Amino acid sequence: MNDAPDGATTSITRSVAGMGAAAAVSRAFGGLRMVVIAGVLGTTFLGNTFQASNSFSNVLFELLAAGALSAVLVPTFVDLLRRGQDRRVEEVAGGLLSIALVALGVVSLVGIVLAPQVARFLTAGVADPAVAAEQRELATCLLRFFIPQVLLYAVGAVATALLHARGSFALTAMAPIGNTVVLVAAMIAFRAMAGDDPGLTLTDGERLCLALGGTLGVAAFLGIPAVGLHLTGFRWRLGARRAVRDDDIRRLLRLSGWAALQHSGTGILLVAAVVVSGGVAGGVVAYQLATVVFLAPYGILAQPIHTAVLPRLSADHAAGDTEGMHRALRWAVDALVVATVPVAAALVALSLPVMQVLAFGQAGRGDGPELLGAALAGLAVGIPVYGGFLLMTRAAYAIGDSRTPALASLSSAVVGAVGMIVVGAVVDGPGRLAAIGGAHSAAYLLGLVWLAVRLRPHVGTVFGIGQLRPVALAAGAGGVMWVALRAWSPDGRVVTLAAITAVTLVGGAAYVLGLRSLGALPGRAPAGYRPVGGVA
């Protein structure tokens, strides 16, 4: 594997490790949140309705503004902070947020008015007209609470970009815990009000409990980075009228326009998945719980790598150090492959027993673990390519190119969404969930290949034959784990958990020993970008 340059420091390594540890705790809480939702609402049409409605504001933000208020801002903030222009950072960030709040405020009002039409779209895949009508009525009520969440997402996105530019990563990784605490409390209250088998017909109090739980959870999640940023001494200098005349903000908005299109690809895939999986009872709940499990290793292992390396890539590009950029990016790719490929192989091999352990409260409520396991298997195979796509996107941002990731994301998302729709028309039940996840993985693989080819003249070749060694080792270990667990055939949640733990430990140990024997471990992290203040 690639060696880091001489004199390397451990700053990036510390950032990756710190963010990874924080993300591990946060993702564990996120898994708990989804398990509780699945246990209280079930893999049922009620669960579908709540999850689809609560996800809509996130999808809306991804489609309209996430790109403009995302990692694409980090290089600009890094440059201003390194030049000591703290007040200018406050002006630029405040101006961008002001424009976003005005635009998204209008979108929220329109969305509230059109909530019945949105609800009809979200339930388009439901075949039973009576069930669809009940879902639409409940979803319309929930959407009018959930759609204004886009304003909260805007504040959280800008605050997160500022904290990352300051070299502060752990706090933003921990932020989703706030959502979990609030939403789990709401689910407990809902269970006490509605009983253990609620249907789609709810009282006003039960609806309000779900609506406030979802909205206050998002407020807690996104309020954490905003408060953390405030503690650094940062002050928002808001003013939309001034911002539209600011040359730096106008330049950033032009750059961010392409990034917004790149994030639209994420929204397209999520909308397609929600609609197509909504045709299966509990399909949306199953897909989203599988997504939480899928995102856990990404958030713990891959996201810290590309988040921590972005300021370094930006600083090297600003200094004209092309070789430094190449070394940092190659190290990140090597580390990502070694870390994520075995987890992907293990989750594919163990998807059904993993979900049998997590599927609390699913006895007699839909296909339960089978739906969950199928969705996880399809998604899990794409963990390395999803992380790789976002890493290469950050590399493009570092050189001031947001157009290439946008085109790659949109093109691959359209292909993936079409694949989901086609499969949804011919496959039902767990097979549909597996195919949706597989289409998601295939879309990001297509995008990753596109980015790697288009960025090669700028950052060099960062993918090589040597990276196939950990892939081969991981595939072998995953196959052995699958065979071992089938031969074991554990029965019961506790025994199944023990069996998963045992085969994972053995398979993981074999993988690490194989890496050491082949010399396939990544080298030291390159000298890192020095953070500019902030909170840890």
Per-residue pLDDT of the chain (536 residues; tens, 9 = 90+): 444 433 334 456 666 666 667 767 777 777 778 778 877 887 678 888 888 888 888 777 766 655 556 666 777 787 888 788 888 888 888 888 888 899 889 999 999 999 999 998 888 777 788 888 899 999 999 999 999 998 988 888 888 888 888 877 778 888 888 888 999 999 999 999 988 878 888 899 999 999 999 999 989 988 888 888 888 888 888 887 777 777 777 777 776 667 667 777 887 888 888 888 888 877 887 887 788 788 888 888 888 888 778 878 888 888 888 888 888 888 889 989 999 999 999 999 998 888 878 765 444 444 567 888 888 899 999 999 999 999 999 899 888 888 888 889 999 999 999 999 998 888 888 889 999 999 999 999 999 999 999 988 888 888 888 888 889 999 999 999 999 988 888 888 889 889 999 999 999 899 988 888 877 666 555 554 444 444 44
Minimal CA–CA distance to 236: which of 102, 95, 101? 95
For residue range 120-176, list pLDDT tens digits in order. 888 877 778 888 889 999 999 999 999 999 898 888 888 888 888 887 777 888 888
Residues 6+ apart with CB under 8 A from 12: 308, 309, 312, 328, 525, 526, 527, 528, 529
In the chain, the percentage of residues whose pLDDT exceeds 90 is: 24
Residue with tokens 């987890």: 343
Q: For tokens 């990756």, what's the residue?
A: 16
Q: What is the pTM of this model?
A: 0.69
Reduce the DSSP state of residue 142 to 3 states and report it: helix
Q: Which of 497, 412, 493 is nearest to 450 (CA)?
A: 412
Return the pLDDT at 520.
65
Angstrom distance (rounded) from CA 266 to CA 298: 15
Structural contact between residues 158 and 96, judged by C-beta atoms closer than 8 angstroms: yes
Let me know: does 384 contact 340? Beta carbons within 8 Å.
yes
pLDDT digits (tens, 9 = 90+) for 225-234: 888 888 888 8
Number of neighbours of residue 121 by Cβ within 10 angstroms: 17
Q: What is the pLDDT of residue 113?
A: 95
> In which residue are the tokens 């390194």 written?
82
For residue 445, give the DSSP letter: H
pLDDT at site 10:
46
Here the tokens at position 428 are 């039902």
> Whole-angstrom Cα distance, residue 151 to residue 42?
29
In this prediction, residue 515 carries a pLDDT of 85
Cα 70 to Cα 402: distance, rounded to the nearest angstrom: 11
Q: What is the pLDDT of residue 468?
A: 87
How far is residue 252's CA from residue 245's CA, in Å, rounded to a whole number? 12
